[in-house]
Amino acid sequence: MSDKRTEAEREVDRLRIERNLRLSVEERLNQGTINPFRPGIDDGPKIRVWHTMAERKAWQETLPKYLGYGQAKDED
């Protein structure tokens, strides 16, 4: 596998690596994680209470499917 980067690009990478090695573990963890916004969850109250399971399921259906709160599907 050949490296097709220029010498300047390799130098930039080397400097980034050296800078990252000087970071503490806490700083590395903070830079390596993200806190995505979850619509329907993060924009509402911190605690939700439903009086019936039907209420909860109705709320759940308003959430985007990619959050994974939809009904489980039966596998055949």
Could you tell me which of 46, 48, 73, 75 has the C-alpha nearest to residue 59?
A: 48
Of 73 and 50, the structure prediction assigns the larger pLDDT to 50
Residue 14 included in any domain: yes
Residue 76 included in any domain: no
Token readout for 2 is 């050949």
Neighbours of 60 (CB within 10 A): 14
Task: Give the residue numbers spanning the domain of 62.
Answer: 7-67
pLDDT confidence band for 74 (50 / 70 / 90): low
Residue 2 included in any domain: no
Q: What is the pLDDT of residues 11-69, one digit of tens each?
A: 999 999 999 899 999 998 888 888 888 887 888 888 889 999 999 989 888 888 888 87
Query: What was the pLDDT predicted at 16?
Result: 92
How many domains would you assign to the chain?
1
Residue 46 included in any domain: yes
